[in-house]
Amino acid sequence: MRWKTLEEGIQQLREVAVLEVLFGRGGQHDNDPDKVKCTGQMLWNLATLGPSQYATYIATIHPDTNRETVGSVANKLRNYESIICSPMQAQVSAVAKELREEMREKMEEVTGKMEEMMRRNSSHVAPVRVTGPRVRGQQPPARERGYTPRADLWYFLRDHGEDMGRWDGKPTSALAARVRELKERNTNRGGSTKMKVASTSHDQAASQGEARENRVYWTVWIRWPGTSEPQKYEALVDTGSQCTLIPSEYVGTEPISIAGVTGGSQELTLLEAEVSLTGKEWQKHPIVTGSGAPCILGIDFLRNGYYKDSKGFRWAFGIAAVEAEGIKKLNSLPGLSENPSAVGLLKVEEQRVPVATSTVHRRQYRTNRDAVIPIHKMIRELESQGVVSKTHSPFNSPIWPVRKPDGEWRLTVDYRALNEVTPPLSAAVPDMLELQYELESKAAKWYATIDIANAFFSIPLAAECRPQFAFTWRGVQYTWNRLPQGWKHSPTICHGLIQAALEKGEAPEHLQYIDDIIVWGNTAMEVFEKGEKIIHILLKAGFAIKQSKVKGPAREIQFLGVKWQDGRRQIPTEVINKITAMSPPTSKKETQAFLGAIGFWRMHIPEYSQIVSPLYLVTRKKNDFHWGPEQQQAFAQIKQEIAHAVALGPVRTGPDVKNVLYSAAGNNGLSWSLWQKVPGETRGRPLGFWSRSYRGSEANYTPTEKEILAAYEGVQAASEVIGTEAQLLLAPRLPVLGWMFKGKVPSTHHATDATWSKWIALITQRARIGNPNRPGILEIITNWPEGENFGLMDEEEQEQVTRAEEAPPYNQLPEEETRYALFTDGSCRIVGMNRKWKAAVWSPTRQVAQATEGEGGSSQLAELKAVQLALDIAEREKWPKLYLYTDSWMVANALWGWLDRWKKANWQRRGKPIWAADEWKDIATRVEKLPVKVRHVDAHVPKSRANEEHRNNEHVDQAAKIEVSKIDLDWQHKGELFLARWAHDASGHQGRDATYKWAQDRGVDLTMDSISQVIHDCETCAAIKQAKRVKPLWYGGRWSKYKYGEAWQIDYITLPQTRQGKRYVLTMVEATTGWLETYPVPHATARNTILGLEKQILWRHGTPERIESDNGTHFKNSLINTWAREHGIEWVYHIPYHAPAAGKVERCNGLLKTTLKALGAGTFKNWENNLAKATWYVEFFQDPVEASNVMAEPYKSLQICKAGNSADFAPSYFAPVDGNSILADYDSLLVWGFFLACNMLEFTFSQDG
């Protein structure tokens, strides 16, 4: 290609240099074309294809000096251009004309010699040797030595109709041999055309120039973030540019300065966008952009692989691209199926699966019209493959066709009703997030994925299990002979069988999630060999694998919907495009669909929860859908965040790796992020972002408590990502560790003591992990990763962590000490209607377990029993010491220091005995005699990170479990008892006949025997029977020990909602007198309960000793329990479904409703305004008939007489009378209060005064 300007000529020279780097056999220094030695052939081509004014000067450059490189020649040419463009150009032109004539004569002479040489040596064509500068300086140019450049050989083969794809990657000698073969064939045929391989005539140069025209400027499509339509550019292919530059108005997040682009320097920005050379295949790539940026495709993009130009020619730039061409692909292995409907058959026994406890029959509902024909064809094909067959079954479930993303349909059945009555099965499917953490820690270079074709349909079912899966299509009933999709246990069974097949075949290291498998490695061949072995195992087991579902080896791959590259997790490009192209939702359902699409990627978005909180508001049931400016702003912001989401990982380990956890508590919620920095990196990389809103009472925490809560949540999340052994640098906004190691809860705290104990236990234990000089957690203040400083603060400003004495990790114990180590655990389970616990101890050296069982108690009690059992073993065998390993925070913290504190407090806390005081006393006494060291073992560790300590903990965990055989009944009987228990509870704990009738009315068939058994085992019914044998609670004997105001019964009643939003009334009845207090509220909550009690009881009548209520959530929760404990109130819950237990308050509730309805003229209209008057009526006239009579006539007087005992106070003291008494009104409440205070005086108020 002829060049007109100097820059075009230099660009051509650099392209030839790139070819020397790629195809030369001598090996150049690096990938920089400017450092390639400039040969005589290169200078000759440059001179003949350029303007005559440059040819003369180029001829004066001597390559034999071993000093000239492409870069130095380019600089000389630029200097020459500046000279000829000066006023001396006229003088230089005259000299140049003479030199030009001489140069033309020399060129003709050289050309003649070279052609003659080619004729004499036509059978000897050798590849170009591209060696270092030492050889270049001693040898003449390649053409003068009789060698042929690879490029000329390549063009010769192409012009003779060769398929150039088969020659990519082949050595130059192979191309030369093929050229000789074609040349000899033409000669034998007598052809007159002789291919002049080394010809340098202007005609051939011109034809080569035309071929290269499209390689100088390529068409590039760019899809910028936040847009769905790509933009087209014509970019210069510049292998010397280290970055790709595209002009645009988009602004990136990172500023960058580019030097030498337009003669000076430019301040541009770096932005990640999608790039394509075809408009079809896209890849994400960082782009330097700005309004004044040039349009250049740099080597950073070009070296990624092979590219095709508009004429179909393939181009490769960079060593990595050349290496990638020879990679074997897994989808080329034999045995893979090209049939999209391929179904295998696993070579195992037919699987017996859990059978439903009752018959489920659901009619087929109307299906999508577009799905009818595809589903019909699919059923016919599945029937021919033996996957489904015709049947007659009492079961039936409707078909639920699902369209795949590629437009095809999946045949699924709506088994939701069947799943509800299907017995449970232990889940074996791993957690998806845990798999991602594990894969992230590998930081591999190459990946490959394998997806089994129709894995569920490959698993045969036993004949007796098939009828429950029946479905109907076009009047014909079918059932599945293989494992169906949509059934609750299909993923578990499928995952387990595939895992067993891989283990049996001794598959190499891999990760599996149901039918998706991934392998990884540092080289493509390593990954290919692993994938090949796994495919062989699966095919041998009977599975089918589609060729299109096998990917890799590749540097980038998708697994579980996530894009993986170098151990980093990224959002796939197609997902970003789908989300950014979404329109604003117009309904709650569309909003929920949008939140579902983005929710999976929340770990990539800082403060995700706070951003999308306005969107969640419109999805609540109580709120109408209203899309306002706040929602629109959140919608646009989250889409922008998704478009600019960063990659997470990879996770590195080692003593030099720094892990920093940033935590913060804002006004609307918590947020924390984990960052990692390894040696040699100037910036840290994120491992994850988390956020959530406040829950329950957390919004009322003090600022310090909120920061501690954020740090607590962050430490938990960080442990899942980097493990519990790595050191963590904690960077909160307020000090946290100081509070944790004080061991003292502040007096102004709002969180409960149990919550504080949970915080202290986790954070202090995490801080103790590691060496004494390197604690597990350090509290720091640093501005990394945004800034450059990563150093810690001064030592005096760091939080000093004192280590409590604990046992070393088990694998660090001396061998002679391991025999004194025991692992303990405890569990609890309900067997029938009783609770059973089991405690176990595991000896790792003897590989034996010892256990003990009992009834009642809890799993925490079982943990204590396990410690006692371990102490028994140590004392019996007279051990000098004991190393105790437990996964219980309670046991570990108690033995670390709580025991001493409890002992000093006489085994009490706030005046009350501690829980399980007897067991703790026994343990404390024995620990004083026997040195015991304890270590907490993390029970939640992935198998890939588990060590010997964790495996021993699993052994004791298995030993502590109660066998299933002890609690499992047969499925049918168990299901019938479950239904009978449900009917008995829902019917209000009635008798056998009443429960049977209640169930029959609702279409539930139960036997009398099952109902009798449920009633016999019902604890609530037993309590009701016991209560009926004693005297009713409201009789005087029950309350005789209490004085006025010391005992109350409370409840809520529901009324129509007022304009102020109130619809509940908290009713409080004094037990000894029947005095009624009321408090209207909008919601029946624990907070409103406490508010009503404080305003109506504590402020008016003093703090009570006893309060009784039902078991509603507004009464029975931790907030109420904490409040009652702090005020020293005994809170008693009534027996469920036993009205006499709450006789006083229920009586007042009924009378209050009747009174409100009477005051509202037969309705509850204006009940809030009438509540005070109705309360007064109920207080003085607790007989409904008497109260209604009083309300029917005007009050004329009120006489208050002396009462010797307030408990004997009777309604007869208050009666409307005719005469001289004063008219009583609502203000007479004050009189009643004064009467209670005096109780011995008598006042008479008359109308006469």
Cis ω for the linkage preceding 553 (within 30 of 0): yes
Report how far residue 1205's alpha carbon sits from residue 1072's, in angstroms, rounded to the nearest whole number.
10
Q: What is the biggest distance separating any 2 CA atoms in the chain, rounded to whole angstroms? A: 151
Enclosing H/E stretch for 1051: strand 1047-1054
| DSSP character string of 756-774 | HHHHHHHHHHHHHSSBTTB
In the numeric block, which tokens belong to residue 439? 């894969």
Residue 138's pLDDT is: 34
- Strands 265-276 and 217-223 come out as antiparallel
Report how far residue 1029's alpha carbon sits from residue 550's, in angstroms, rounded to the nearest whole number.
74
The answer on pLDDT for 799 being more than 80 is no
SS3 label, residue 390: strand
Geometric angle at alpha carbon 106, from 100 and 111, rounded to 5°: 125
Q: Which CATH architecture does the domain made up of 358-570 adopt? A: Roll (3.10)
Summarize the confidence of residues 418-440 as an average pLDDT.
83
Q: What's phi and psi for 85, nearest 5 deg?
A: -85, 0
Per residue in 1120-1149, pLDDT tens? 888 998 888 988 887 665 556 667 788 888
Summarize the confidence of residues 193-214 as an average pLDDT.
38
In the numeric block, which tokens belong to residue 657? 């790796």
What letter represents residue 183's amino acid? K
Q: Answer whether 552's CB lies under 8 Å from 330's CB.
A: yes
Summarize the confidence of residues 13-25 as an average pLDDT.
71
What letter represents residue 1087's amino acid? R
Q: Give the E-state strand segments of 361-501 in sequence order.
A: 388-390, 402-403, 409-410, 446-453, 471-473, 476-480
**Can you identify the CATH homologous superfamily of domain 212-326?**
Acid Proteases (2.40.70.10)
In the numeric block, which tokens belong to residue 268? 């541009």
Label residue 456 exposed, middle or buried (CB < 10 Å: 0-12, 13-18, 19+): buried
Lowest mean pLDDT among 61-75, 353-367, 421-435: 61-75
Cis ω for the linkage preceding 650 (within 30 of 0): yes
Residue 93's pLDDT is: 52
- Residue 1064 CA, chain-centre distance (Å), reads 40
Per residue in 696-743, pLDDT tens? 888 888 888 888 898 889 888 888 888 877 777 777 766 677 667 665
Report how far residue 911's alpha carbon sits from residue 689's, in angstroms, rounded to the nearest whole number.
44
- What does DSSP assign to residue 361? B
Summarize the confidence of residues 237-242 as an average pLDDT.
75
Summarize the confidence of residues 1072-1099 as an average pLDDT.
89
Residue 378's pLDDT is: 87
In the numeric block, which tokens belong to residue 525? 């061949």
- The 3-class secondary structure across 686-749, one letter per residue, is EEEEEEEECCHHHHHCCHHHHHHHHHHHHHHHHHHHHCCCCCEEEECCCCCHHHHHHCCCCCCC
Q: Minimal CA–CA distance to 9: which of 34, 46, 62?
A: 46
Kindly give, in sequence order, each residue whose CB lies less than 8 Å from that of residue 924, ignoring residues fewer than 6 positions away. 899, 902, 903
In the numeric block, which tokens belong to residue 620? 């609540």
Q: Answer whether 140's CB lies under 8 Å from 158's CB.
A: no
pLDDT band, very low/low/confident/very high, at 610 (cuts 50, 70, 90)? confident
Report how far residue 484's alpha carbon sits from residue 419's, in angstroms, rounded to the nearest whole number.
12
Report how far residue 777's alpha carbon sits from residue 1005's, in angstroms, rounded to the nearest whole number.
60
pLDDT band, very low/low/confident/very high, at 805 (cuts 50, 70, 90)? low
pLDDT band, very low/low/confident/very high, at 15 (cuts 50, 70, 90)? confident
The answer on pLDDT for 1036 being more than 50 is no
The answer on pLDDT for 448 being more than 90 is yes
Residue 203's pLDDT is: 43
Q: Answer whether 63's CB lies under 8 Å from 142's CB.
A: no
pLDDT over 70 for what percent of the chain? 71
* pLDDT greater at residue 317 or residue 754: 754
Lowest mean pLDDT among 159-163, 610-614, 1088-1092: 159-163
Determine how many CB atoms are found less than 10 A away from the CB of residue 87.
6
Residue 495's pLDDT is: 92
- What does DSSP assign to residue 915? T
Q: Minimal CA–CA distance to 74: which of 42, 102, 112, 34?
A: 34
Residue 512's pLDDT is: 92
Determine how many CB atoms are found less than 10 A away from the CB of residue 177.
14
In the numeric block, which tokens belong to residue 119? 């004729």
pLDDT band, very low/low/confident/very high, at 165 (cuts 50, 70, 90)? low
The answer on pLDDT for 790 being more than 70 is no
Q: Minimal CA–CA distance to 564: which of 712, 444, 715?
A: 444
Cis ω for the linkage preceding 785 (within 30 of 0): yes
Summarize the confidence of residues 616-629 as an average pLDDT.
86
What letter represents residue 239's amino acid? T
Determine how many CB atoms are found less than 10 A away from the CB of residue 740.
24
Summarize the confidence of residues 129-147 as an average pLDDT.
36
pLDDT band, very low/low/confident/very high, at 312 (cuts 50, 70, 90)? low
Q: Please tell me which of 808-812, 1017-1021, 1090-1094, 1223-1227 the model is most confident about, judged by mean pLDDT.
A: 1090-1094
Report how far residue 614's alpha carbon sits from residue 634's, in angstroms, rounded to the nearest whole number.
7
Q: Answer whether 341's CB lies under 8 Å from 455's CB.
A: no
* pLDDT greater at residue 86 or residue 732: 732
SS3 label, residue 922: helix
Report how far residue 1111's alpha carbon sits from residue 1122's, in angstroms, rounded to the nearest whole number.
16
The answer on pLDDT for 788 being more than 70 is no
Report how far residue 175's alpha carbon sits from residue 774's, in angstroms, rounded to the nearest whole number.
63
Q: Answer whether 1138's CB lies under 8 Å from 1024's CB.
A: yes
Geometric angle at alpha carbon 320, from 319 and 324, rounded to 5°: 120
Q: Please tell me which of 54-68, 471-485, 968-982, 1163-1177 the model is most confident about, judged by mean pLDDT.
A: 471-485
Q: Which CATH architecture does the domain made up of 810-966 adopt? A: 2-Layer Sandwich (3.30)
Summarize the confidence of residues 282-306 as an average pLDDT.
78
Kindly give, in sequence order, each residue whose CB lies less than 8 Å from that of residue 812, ignoring residues fewer than 6 positions away. none
Determine how many CB atoms are found less than 10 A away from the CB of residue 1062.
17
Q: Answer whether 698's CB lies under 8 Å from 689's CB.
A: no
Per residue in 240-266, pLDDT tens? 777 788 888 887 766 666 765 444 567
Per residue in 827-875, pLDDT tens? 887 665 567 888 999 999 888 888 888 887 777 788 888 998 999 888 8
Report how far residue 492's alpha carbon sits from residue 502's, in angstroms, rounded to the nearest whole number.
16
Q: What is the CATH number of domain 1036-1192?
A: 3.30.420.10
pLDDT band, very low/low/confident/very high, at 1022 (cuts 50, 70, 90)? confident
Geometric angle at alpha carbon 21, from 20 and 24, rounded to 5°: 55
SS3 label, residue 634: helix
pLDDT band, very low/low/confident/very high, at 196 (cuts 50, 70, 90)? very low
Report how far residue 603's alpha carbon sits from residue 146's, in angstroms, rounded to the nearest whole number.
63
Residue 902's pLDDT is: 75
Q: Minimal CA–CA distance to 784: which of 666, 672, 658, 690?
A: 658
pLDDT band, very low/low/confident/very high, at 117 (cuts 50, 70, 90)? low
Report how far residue 302's alpha carbon sits from residue 21's, in angstroms, rounded to the nearest whole number.
14
Task: Give exposure, 329-365, as e/b (b: 16+ Cβ within 10 Å).
Answer: bbbebeebbeeebbbbbbeeeebebbbbbeebebebe
pLDDT over 90 for what percent of the chain? 12
- The 3-class secondary structure across 989-1048, one letter per residue, is CCCHHHHHHHHHHCCCCCCHHHHHHHHHHCHHHHHHHHHHHCCCCCCHHHHCCCCCCCEE
pLDDT band, very low/low/confident/very high, at 350 (cuts 50, 70, 90)? very high
Report how far residue 1096's alpha carbon sits from residue 1196's, in angstroms, rounded to the nearest whole number.
29
Geometric angle at alpha carbon 920, from 904 and 859, rounded to 5°: 140
Residue 823's pLDDT is: 93
Same fold yes or no, 810-966 and 1036-1192: yes
Summarize the confidence of residues 356-360 as an average pLDDT.
90
In the numeric block, which tokens belong to residue 33? 């074309």
Determine how many CB atoms are found less than 10 A away from the CB of residue 953.
24
Task: Supply the Cα-derived Rg of the chain in whole angstroms.
Answer: 43
The answer on pLDDT for 198 being more than 50 is no
Residue 123's pLDDT is: 36
What are the extents of the domains in the chain? 6-196, 212-326, 358-570, 575-793, 810-966, 973-1017, 1036-1192
Residue 137's pLDDT is: 32
Residue 1141's pLDDT is: 60
Summarize the confidence of residues 410-435 as an average pLDDT.
84
Per residue in 631-673, pLDDT tens? 999 998 898 888 888 888 888 887 788 888 888 888 888 998 8
The rounded mean pLDDT for the chain is: 75
Q: What's phi and psi for 189, nearest 5 deg?
A: -75, -5
Residues pairing with 665 in the sheet: 670
Geometric angle at alpha carbon 684, from 682 and 686, rounded to 5°: 155
Residue 1207's pLDDT is: 35
